[in-house]
């Protein structure tokens, strides 16, 4: 298994927010223990300094696309764009990605 190839793989999920479905494409294998520790540290430091939202950073780095538009125009999940997205939407998207990764890490139950 090549870890670099694994980290470049993409996954697609759908989640719902405010009665609408959102399709999301992301790189699930970028979520490593080191990356999670970095996000926790950023979240802690950001709260103290009143700076960057860790969901914005997380999603801008792990997502490669989604079908969200702004006034009918494509709205890529860049850090700048995600800063103006409602916090509740960011949380729902982040939760969907984390749940997907969690399911991938849980072995399927054996039917013996």
Q: How many angstroms separate the CA atoms of 110 and 112, rounded?
A: 6
Asked if residues 28 and 9 have their Cβ atoms less than 8 Å apart, the reply is: yes
Q: Residue 107: pLDDT above 80?
A: no
Q: Give, in order, the Cα–Cα distances in Å from 34 to each of 13, 39, 40, 95.
A: 24, 9, 10, 19
Nearest to 54 by CA among 6, 3, 94: 94
Statement: the pTM of the whole predicted model exceeds 0.85: no
Higher-confidence residue of 2 and 15: namely: 15
Query: Over the stretch 50-106, which tens digit does the pLDDT of each residue have?
Result: 556 778 888 998 999 999 999 999 999 999 999 999 999 999 999 999 899 888 877
Query: Over the stretch 20-63, which tens digit does the pLDDT of each residue have?
Result: 999 999 999 988 888 888 877 777 765 554 556 778 888 998 99
């Amino acid at each position: 298994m090549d870890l670099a190839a694994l980290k470049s793989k993409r996954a697609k999920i759908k989640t719902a927010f405010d009665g609408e479905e959102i399709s999301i494409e992301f790189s699930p294998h970028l979520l490593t223990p080191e990356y999670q520790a970095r996000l926790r540290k950023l979240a802690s430091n950001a709260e103290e300094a009143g700076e960057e939202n860790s969901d914005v950073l997380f999603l801008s780095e792990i997502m490669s696309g989604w079908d969200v538009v702004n006034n009918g125009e494509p709205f890529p999940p860049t850090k700048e764009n995600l800063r103006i997205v409602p916090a509740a939407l960011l949380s729902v998207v982040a939760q969907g990605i984390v749940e997907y990764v969690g399911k991938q890490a849980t072995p399927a139950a054996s039917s013996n």
